[in-house]
């Protein structure tokens, strides 16, 4: 299937190659973000790309950046291609603001092993799988080679962020989460948890990276949750994580997905895009890289080869 696993060009300076996104310096001096179809799970990039994933992530992030700009400004300038965003160059704050409204995923796994404190937030005994919290909680992590849980006090004392700036980030993260939760609830979707990343642009706090995508968030079907909370349908990347856990061998996760799992992952990405935006993702038949380069040439970012 036609996928974008890797993009490189000698015409543009590579700034950063991440697990999913590759960043380049645009001729204007701004940042060009190419969202690939690579899939990362458990701090590792799998060998198998997932078709249309990059366009879904890029398109959904753009949708949400536009919907939430009244809450906090963001780095988006324009979309140049379904897989490419031109963005302001911000100074990133190396902290992930994780907002959770249900106990699931890694938090549930830690809870089942006896953990009760998560990034300084203490939760009570007796919680059941996928139980909703009385109100959303913020459990920050550091942005390092391997993200780690950390309390707000330690974030400040270790020099990751100033106390007043962290307070702004926490307030905005909760506002963003509550806004998106209401939007999705009207469409039969539960926003389970998500992460936000912030940066500074001319001294002003802005939202960067991605927002409310299947890679940065967990989504559940509200109908399924009401019917059976413990076995609720996974509408996000957790489907792949659970497959990796189930197929772990000798302590190692699989490096590649089966064709069936990859196809199902694609279906889920396309489905959540349509459910949230109300429109299907436009899928072309041509080569993704050829289309991408053509759009960058038309935008004056690249020259024709």
Domain membership of residue 45 (yes or no) is: yes
pLDDT at position 145 over 80: no
What is the chain's mean pLDDT, rounded? 94
pLDDT at position 1 over 60: no
Residue with more model confidence, 105 or 176:
176
Instruction: Indicate whether 213 and 121 sit together in one domain.
Output: yes
Domain membership of residue 304 (yes or no) is: no
Instruction: Indicate whether 70 and 96 sit together in one domain.
Output: no
Instruction: Indicate whether 212 and 124 sit together in one domain.
Output: yes
pLDDT at 146 (0 to 100): 72
The pTM score is 0.92
- Residue 224 · residue 90 · CB < 8 Å: no
Instruction: Indicate whether 194 and 158 sit together in one domain.
Output: yes
272, two tokens:
């959540």
Domain CATH code at residue 72? 3.30.200.20
Count of structural domains within the chain: 2
Domain CATH code at residue 113? 3.30.470.20
pLDDT at 233 (0 to 100): 81
pLDDT at position 176 over 80: yes
Domain membership of residue 70 (yes or no) is: yes
136 contact partners, CB below 8 Å, separation of at least 6: 99, 100, 101, 174, 177, 178, 181
Instruction: Indicate whether 190 and 64 sit together in one domain.
Output: no
Domain membership of residue 76 (yes or no) is: yes
- Residue 273 · residue 59 · CB < 8 Å: yes
The whole domain housing 78 covers: 13-89+279-298
Instruction: Indicate whether 136 and 157 sit together in one domain.
Output: yes
């Amino acid at each position: 299937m036609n996928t974008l696993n890797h993009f490189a060009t000698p015409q543009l300076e590579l700034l950063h190659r991440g697990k999913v996104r590759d960043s380049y310096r645009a001729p204007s001096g701004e940042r060009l973000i190419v969202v690939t179809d690579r899939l990362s799970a458990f701090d590792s990039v799998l060998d198998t790309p997932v078709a249309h994933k990059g366009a879904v992530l890029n398109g959904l992030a753009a949708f949400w950046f536009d919907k939430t700009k009244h809450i906090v400004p963001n780095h988006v300038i324009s979309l140049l291609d379904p897989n490419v965003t031109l963005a302001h160059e911000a100074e990133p704050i190396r902290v992930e603001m994780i907002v959770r409204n249900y106990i699931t995923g890694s938090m549930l796994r830690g809870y089942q092993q006896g953990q009760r404190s998560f990034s300084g937030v203490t939760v009570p005994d007796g919680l059941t799988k996928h139980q909703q919290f009385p109100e959303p909680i913020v459990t920050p992590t550091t942005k390092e080679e391997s993200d780690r849980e950390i309390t707000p006090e330690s974030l400040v004392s270790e020099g990751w962020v100033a106390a007043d700036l962290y307070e702004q980030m926490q307030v905005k993260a909760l506002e963003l989460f509550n806004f998106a939760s209401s939007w999705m609830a009207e469409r039969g979707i539960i926003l389970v948890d998500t992460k936000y990343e912030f940066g500074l642009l001319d001294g002003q706090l802005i939202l960067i990276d991605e927002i409310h995508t299947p890679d940065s968030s967990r989504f559940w079907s509200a109908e399924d949750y009401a019917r059976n909370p413990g076995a609720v349908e996974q509408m996000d990347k957790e489907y792949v994580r659970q497959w990796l856990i189930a197929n772990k061998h000798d302590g190692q996760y699989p490096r590649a997905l089966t064709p069936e799992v990859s196809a199902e992952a694609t279906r889920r990405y396309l489905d959540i895009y349509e459910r949230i935006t109300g429109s299907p993702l436009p899928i072309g038949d041509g080569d993704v890289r050829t289309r991408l380069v053509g759009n960058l040439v038309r935008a004056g970012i690249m020259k024709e080869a």
